[in-house]
Chains A and B, each alone.
Chain A
Amino acid sequence: MTTHAQLALLVSRVRYEERQIMAALERHGVEYEQVDTRTLHGGLADRRWPVVLDREIGSVRARYAAWTLEAEGSRVLNSASTIDLCSDKWRTSLALRSAGVATPRTMIALTPEATLAALDELGYPAVIKPISGSWGRLVTKLDNRADAATVTEYIGALTGPQAHLGYVQSFVPSNNRNIRVIVIDGQALGASYQLSDGWRTNIAWGGECVRCELTTELAKLAISAAEAVGAELAGVDIVEDPDGRHWVLEVNAGVEFTGFNKAHPELNVADYIVGYVKSVLADTC
């Protein structure tokens, strides 16, 4: 019978974040097993790892690994239901709205034709996003009905029923600047601005990060958003409108923090994550 470590670090692609987490685990003296999700298989076996830190980069593998290992009895961070929620923008919007978290006006439409009607109702400019996209890919700003008609026609030509869902949102002018707040175990660690030359500010699109003051209001908003989706480890993306009001765009369950760490060299996110993992290990083992 194979003996496993108390902690599994689920990962396929070791990026800056995973290197930092591994180094922090070693600094803190936490024994762990690096488990490559590309080799993971099983189904309702006995529990292998009491605690699992799910850092799989792919949303599908991250979700199915979490569901499987939770069914085996592991405590997975973040939980399968949180990863599931956060990988679906509409279900995230519903969770945020039902928790009373401020989020831009958002609609879903179930066909391309209905998407155009929803956009007309929202007004322009508006934004259309894939339901389960990441890194800002295919997120498109629609300045007028002609743009919207063209994009919805393209969407209609895509294959697969999920591609035909239209997730549309009022565009919040934010001067090409978003705010990222990292929340760990219900505490806001800090905030950074994600700046860009274009309206999409994702770091994956070349946006850069600078320090942002973590006000009480921002901290409360981010904590509420993380709580709404049950995220113990979260990167909450917030946009500030010209009147200074803040709106939550999304909650990231597989939080990336390369840019945040550059803006906050004094805050080692990996150390905070590992600190939380240690407390979960202490409760679980």
Chain B
Amino acid sequence: MTTTCPECAADVAFNDQPRLSEVVECGDCHSELEVTTVEPLSLVLAPDVEEDWGE
């Protein structure tokens, strides 16, 4: 499944079924992208890392 990077318009391909809220990286511009809808597949720039994220 393929869609377009909202930042650089390159193709972003998914090997596995995309998941809602999944974060992927654009292979061209390396932007972090978040899946906002699965059908149809759409991506937006993922939110920046916040200071309380992570373990």
* Chain A residues packing against B (C-beta within 8 Å): 11-15, 18-19, 22, 34, 36, 57-60, 87, 132-135, 137, 204, 235, 252-256
Closest Cβ neighbor of B19 among chain A residues = A14
What A residues does B47 contact at CB under 8 A? 13
How far is A11 from B53 in the complex, measured between Cα atoms in Å?
12
* Chain B residues packing against A (C-beta within 8 Å): 16, 19-23, 34-35, 46-47, 50-55
What A residues does B16 contact at CB under 8 A? 19
> A14 and B52: CB pair below 8 A?
no
Partner of A135, one of B20, B22, B55: B55
Q: 10 tightest A-B contacts by CB?
A: A252-B55, A134-B54, A135-B54, A59-B52, A14-B22, A14-B21, A57-B53, A14-B19, A58-B52, A256-B55
> B55 and A235: CB pair below 8 A?
yes
Closest Cβ neighbor of B21 among chain A residues = A14
Besides A14-B21, A14-B23, A19-B22, 18 new A-B residue pairs in contact (Cβ under 8 A), listed by A number: A13-B21, A14-B19, A14-B22, A14-B35, A19-B16, A19-B19, A34-B21, A57-B53, A58-B52, A87-B52, A133-B51, A134-B52, A134-B55, A135-B53, A204-B54, A252-B55, A254-B54, A255-B55
What B residues does A134 contact at CB under 8 A? 52-55
How far is A33 from B19 in the complex, measured between Cα atoms in Å?
13
What A residues does B20 contact at CB under 8 A? 14, 34, 36
What A residues does B54 contact at CB under 8 A? 57, 134-135, 204, 254, 256
Closest Cβ neighbor of B53 among chain A residues = A57
> A137 and B19: CB pair below 8 A?
no
How far is A255 from B55 in the complex, measured between Cα atoms in Å?
7
Selected A-B contacts with CB under 8 Å, 10 pairs: A13-B21, A14-B19, A18-B22, A19-B16, A22-B19, A58-B50, A132-B52, A133-B51, A135-B54, A204-B54
How far is A252 from B53 in the complex, measured between Cα atoms in Å?
12
Min Cβ gap A15→B in Å is: 7
> B23 and A13: CB pair below 8 A?
yes
How far is A133 from B46 in the complex, measured between Cα atoms in Å?
21
How far is A57 from B52 in the complex, measured between Cα atoms in Å?
8
How far is A135 from B50 in the complex, measured between Cα atoms in Å?
11
What B residues does A14 contact at CB under 8 A? 19-23, 35
> B23 and A254: CB pair below 8 A?
no
Candidate in A14, A15, A36, A253 with the most chain B CB atoms within 10 angstroms: A14
What B residues does A36 contact at CB under 8 A? 20-21
> B21 and A60: CB pair below 8 A?
no
How far is A72 from B23 in the complex, measured between Cα atoms in Å?
30
What A residues does B52 contact at CB under 8 A? 58-60, 87, 132, 134
Min Cβ gap B12→A in Å is: 15
Min Cβ gap A162→B in Å is: 12
> A58 and B22: CB pair below 8 A?
no
What B residues does A254 contact at CB under 8 A? 54-55
How far is A19 from B34 in the complex, measured between Cα atoms in Å?
13
Closest Cβ neighbor of A87 among chain B residues = B52
How far is A34 from B22 in the complex, measured between Cα atoms in Å?
12
What A residues does B19 contact at CB under 8 A? 14, 18-19, 22
